Structures are given as C-alpha cells and as structure tokens.
Structure 1
C-alpha cells in the first residue's frame, strides 16, 4: 500500500488555497441552497482546486479562512436583499470563524462581535444580547490590538468603534437607561466629529448614519428629562434628512413625532400639533390615508388636539379620532389590538367631554360578547363598568367589572395592582348590597 506524506500548510499555502477555491455555481449561486442546516460544519458539494494538479478537495476540507470569507459575503448579500434573519445567522458564523482564523485578541474578531451585536439590536431587537456582544467587542479593542500602517485598517477599526458605541447606546436606550445610553452615544458623536476634521467621515460611518446618531441622542436626552437638548438633536436629525432626501421623506415621520412629544412635554400644544400635521401629511402621501402609518399619526394628532382640554379643538379632535379608528379597522380589521387601542383612546376622550353614552356604545360594539383575554379588553371592560356605576346602573356595572377582573387575573395575575383595585371595588359593592348578587 502506498503511503501518502502528511503536508502541513504554511501561511502562504493557506492564502493560495483560499484564492483558488471555486464553485461550479459561482456566478449564479443560490444562497438558500448553500445555507445547509445553519451550522458551521454543514457544507455543500462545492470543491476547491489544489494548485499544481487537477485533484479536487470536497468542501468539508476547505479552510476556515475560506469559510469566513464566504460567511461575510453571504451576510452582505442577505442584507442587500433584506433577508435580515439569514444575515444574522451568517453574523454568528463570522464570530466563530473569526476567532479560529484571527485569534482572541485581533481587531477583526472585535469587528465580528460588533456586527453581530448590531444585528441583535436591529434584526432581533434583543437589547441585552446586543449589549453583551458589543461589550465583548469593546473589551477586545481596549486590551490593545496591533495596528498596521494601513489606512484602510484604521478606517475599519474606527468603523467598528462607531458600531460598538452606537449599539451600546441603543441597547441602553431600549432598556430605558438614559444616562448610560447618552454616554455611549456621545462617544459616537465625538468620533464622527474627529473624522469630519480628517475628512474621513463618509468612509467610516457606514450603515449607522448621522441621522440615526442624532435621533438616538435626542431620545436618550428625553429619558433624562433634558428636553431642550433633545429638541436640538431632533432638529439636527430633521435638517440632515431634509438636506439629503427632501422635505417629504418618510424618515421625517418618526422625527416629527419625537419633536411633537417634546413639545407636548413642554405643554406647547400648538407646536406639537404643527409637527404632527407634517408627519400626518407625509404618511397620507406616501402610505395612503387608510394605512396603519396614517392611522398612527392620526391618533397622535387627535390626542394632541384633545390634550389642551380646549373645547374649540373638539371638532378637530373628533375628526382625527374617527379617521384614525377607521384607518386601523380598514387596514388591520376591527379586532386588531391597535384598532381596539384606538377605540379605547377615543372613548376616554368622549368621556372627558361628557359623551359617555357614545363612549359606552363604541366600547360595547368593539369588545363583543366574548372578550379576548388581553390588556386592551380588560381596560375596555373597566371603562364600561365605570360608566355604568357612574350612571347608577350598579348590577350591570358589577357584572362588567367581574368580567374585567377575570381578564385582569388571566393577563396580570391576581396580585397585580389593577387586579387588586378591581377586586377591592367589587368587594365594596358586594358588601353594600348594591351589586344585586
């Protein structure tokens, strides 16, 4: 039997093998067919041609550096095609393969962690996991990495730092940690300012735009009750979008809504209404009047007109409440949670202006004979029961509140403050004999 010598590849051999890996389907590869079972050790039948001979190695013997390159390319491909969950899986592969290829202390491993962290933030919306991976990336860079004289490598490290601190800032923001969020986002802002002086800003920021940074900083200021600073950041975000995309960009919708929230917190209702009218106008133009987006801004407008308690605004508030509820019901159906929530908000305002019968009728039609076991249904039953009690219809109010308690107990538990409050009211009514039970 012939013996086959064992060959230990050198660094140059790895490079040669990586550069010569080919696939019979390279030009028209289907990412779905290549994905396999999602594990790092699942491969297709693609092969690599070895230098100097015609032999072909199966994919199962290809090198980690090749697998890493493919995972990175596939992640970018899926992002371009908006297949974000599949891109997320490739980001996980990239971390494992980067550790194998580059080692624990290399900046490219930090980059892989940073990109995975950002994916957990934006794709999976899991702030805790996003923060943990961003911290891992930061710790690798803080321990010190060997820097080459390559300008491109320095850009990649700066881009990684932007991703790390933005992700940390946003993860804290999603967890309502205003101070920690602001500190991380400030570091992003400082990096961008330094890059602007070096005329490197555009080449480094990447997927995280200046608008994203300004908007996040504004929200972090909100959490700290720094309203003036928050409004300045929102105006900055607004100006960035208008200068690059025009004054009808859909990206302005969320910015105008944040600005309106800031004005309402300052009790500057007219300014809040002005911003919401701009947002609503864009929604109706881009998404059409009977869309979820238009329903959302319409409901905010209705509440903004209702907020001052000025009877002169009642007609306009009623108009936007009605339009919003109709849009939700048309776009999502009358039983959707957002449509039911709009019904609740509308009914609260009707009670506020004294139209309790109209509010009761609306809620009765919305809740139906068999109430769903959710928070909105519990609130609807609570409001209906309270209306009956206020009008002296005690037995009917008691029955509605009893049903409300049943839903609250299922949703919150018997020890929740809302459940206990309803139980105490029912106990009082029963002891007084007014319940009719």
Structure 2
C-alpha cells in the first residue's frame, strides 16, 4: 500500500481490524497504560542516575560494577565453564529499557537515551514481531529522539518512514477503543516527526503532504470518546508547530504563528498563555515586516494580543495598544465601522475593570454611536451596549454629575405639564385685581 492509499480508513490512518476475544487479552497486546500500572518503576542498577551529586555513592557503584566485570571475566565468575545468562523475559526487559531511556532523557543524557531506545527497537521486534504497530511505535520514539535531542533530521526521517510503512502496509489488529486511539496517536507522531525532519531537510513539498495527513489523523483521533481534551489540544498545537518552519518573511509564517497562539490560548492553561504570547509577538513582528501597520492581519494580531493582556490582568499594557489601533482601524475600515466600535468596547471594559466609570462611559458611548450608525439601534450589539450604559448611569450621583450628550440631557429635564394648578391661577387673578 502506497502513501497515497493510506487514507483508506477515515483519513491518513492505518487499516485496522477489530479483534473480539474472550477472557483476558494476550500479554503482548496490552496497552502501554496497562503495562505501566502492572509494573513498578524501580530501576535495579540504574537507580543511581538521580544521585549524580552523591560522589560517595557513585564510587561505590563503580566499584561494584568493576567487581562484577572481574568476576564475569574470570573462571570463578562462571558456572560449569559458562557465563551466567540473564533469563529476564524480553517483554520485561522492554519495559525496563523504556524507563531507562526516559530517565536518561530527563537528565539530559541524550546519547544514553538514544542507546536505550535502540535496544527498545530490538526488544520490540522480539516481543511483537516485525510487522506489529508496537514496533512502529518504537521507530516513532527513536525518530523523535534523534530529531529533538540531537537534531539529526536524516535519521529521524529514516526511522519515521520505516514506522510509517509498518503501519500502512499491514493490517493492524485492535481489540478496544483505547488501543485504536493509541494506534492513531502513533500514526500522528510518525507523520509529525517525519514532517519536521523533511522541513529541516528543506523538502517542503513532501513535508506539506505529511502536514495534511497530520491534520486528518488529528481529526480522526478527536472522534474517540476515550481520549482526553488535553491530548487533543496538544495534538493540535503540534500540528501548528509542524507547519511553523517557514522562511522568515513568508506570509504563511504569520498565519501559522497566529494559529499556534490561538491553539495555546484555547487550552485554558495558565502556562500556555506564556507560549501564546510568544507566538503572538512573533506573529506581530512578522506582520509589521510583511504587511505593515495598516493591514487587516496586523490589526487582527494586535486584537488577539490585547485580549491576552486583558485575560492576564495586564490592563496597562492593553490600553496603549488598543488606543494605537483605533487610528489604524479608522484608516483601514473607516471611522464608522464595526471594528472601531469593538475596539472602543474593549477600551471601555478595561476602564471599567480599573474602576474608572466615567472613562468607561465615554468609551461605551462612542461604541454605541458607531453601532447605531452601522448596525442600527435595534441590533443586538447596540441594545447590549445601551443596557450597559443605562446600568452604569444608574450609579448613585453619577447621573447628575455625568451627561453623555444633548439627548441624554434632554431626557433628564422634567416633563412639560400643560395643566395649570387651579389655586395658582386664582391667586394670580386676584393679585392682578
């Protein structure tokens, strides 16, 4: 099956057959989540990795290791003239090796981590066979490590391509929805890693094709009810970052950086706001260099950045940017435009959050006048703004102190009464006589 035929199941997905079994599933087909719960995280002789600063313990371990090597090399270290053989089952060795690779990676020891991932590749082939999706997962992990930890794009492309061919050219046997979701996750990681590797190798047409497959696989992954929303958001962020590697000054870089920022902002995570701000600033810089200040895309990015400032309670940074964008929007969209009214509404909300009710009322009034002119008084946005103004004007002492316009001043005048008080009329007549 070629790459162009890999969309046979939904989109860009491997061909999967659901297997219904009775009783307990075979050990070799259990998901990684089940395996991680069944086995503990103890590391035998590699526990000392977290104690690198303990020199005494390190010397003791090195002494023990040298002693073991001497025993294994000498006839006394042998039993009946043969070396001692490690009889640990390969599936348990695979789990232990995966944990070692992760621990080396977390400690910044890239070479050792990749060495363990290569061992995982061999053990996966022994445990699952040469055509199982778990073997493709090992290729995906190794490819990702080569690219992210060492920057080896060619090696990453090589292993991702092998894993992709395993997934696409074989019928993948699945038993549960969780396993199906994991298969799509592996497929996405293979596409994503190879896309980044090809982009680094400046093979842009091939990378663009893989990026489309990443998006299709992401959509299929989102359909599973067993996946977490955070996993879906992370996959979306990765999709945007695969597409972010364009030359500086390319207009596509602006759209990509904006999409990445919005994806981070949609996660609802406070830590993601920092990443969103980074991409928005990068996007704004690209807009200014590519389009200039008086462009719709530049103004769109400025609005996104202002909303981020408001969400993070950085109103003093939002206000100058909002005031600056008023002039630019008047030039691009016109003085009476919905974009200008929306900006006045944002300014009013910032003033209101700071307790500056009079400044907020002035901004809301400008917003309302433009909305009535552009949308009409009966439009939902105009009515909402009018209700907000009425609520603010109902504040004690504010109605007498603050008058928005001549129309409001006329409303505050007492109503004219054509009926003259009788007693006043009689008294007036008598006084004249």
Structure with higher Rg: it is 2
Tell me the TM-score normalised to structure 1 length.
Answer: 0.46
Tell me the TM-score normalised to structure 2 length.
Answer: 0.46
